[in-house]
Amino acid sequence: MDIETAANIGEAVSGIAILFTLLFSLRQIKFWNENRRYEIGRDLANHLSDPLIHRGFSVSMTKLHDDITIQDIAGLDREEKNAMNAMMIGINNIGLLAKHGHLSMDLVDAFYGRYVRVFGSRWRRAIDVFTSANQGDVSEDETDVWDGMLWLMHALKKD
């Protein structure tokens, strides 16, 4: 075997090695993406499994209504207010992550879509009440604080 033939064989083997490396890398990326999706789904499920979040949904069901006033919200006990805060801030954060492409909308819809569609009008009213009650206390529009939740309610709304 002459030097040119050996060089050609070496080049071919090198090309095959590079091809296998690329294929292995693609497989690893696919595996990583699947694993990350599983972890995100688990995180969303853990958020919904929190007893404080359950209490927030219970308050949304029994105490919130489309005509709620600041007096109604003030009438909630401390545990109910804490539960509403935890639930609404958590959903707001999830909305912000989805809005900026860090969470897939199909996962968010699978976990939160039904709740958003059932309680969305009540949550929107609560946000409006919070905003009007605190209008003089903050310099920026307080609805900006709730951008994630408002965006999520709009994005998951089924016509």
Does one domain contain both 73 and 127? Answer: yes
pLDDT in tens, the chain (159 residues): 788 888 888 899 999 999 999 999 999 999 998 888 889 889 999 999 999 999 999 999 999 988 988 899 989 999 999 999 999 999 999 999 999 999 999 999 999 999 999 999 999 999 988 888 766 655 555 557 889 999 999 999 865
Which are the contacts of 108, defined by CB distance < 8 A and separation ≥ 6? 44, 94, 98, 152, 156
Q: Where on the phi/psi map is residue 101: left (φ > 0), alpha (ψ -120 to 50), or beta?
A: left
Domains: count for the chain: 2
Q: What pLDDT sits at residue 100?
A: 93
Please report how the helices 78-99 and 114-133 are oriented relative to each other, as an axis angle in degrees rounded to 10: 110
Does one domain contain both 83 and 24? Answer: no
Does one domain contain both 9 and 63? Answer: no
| C-alpha angle 96-42-80 in degrees, rounded to nearest 5 | 65
Domain-embedded: residue 17? yes
Q: How far apart are CA 133 and CA 3, in angstroms?
A: 85
Amino acid at site 32: W
Q: What pLDDT sits at residue 140?
A: 58
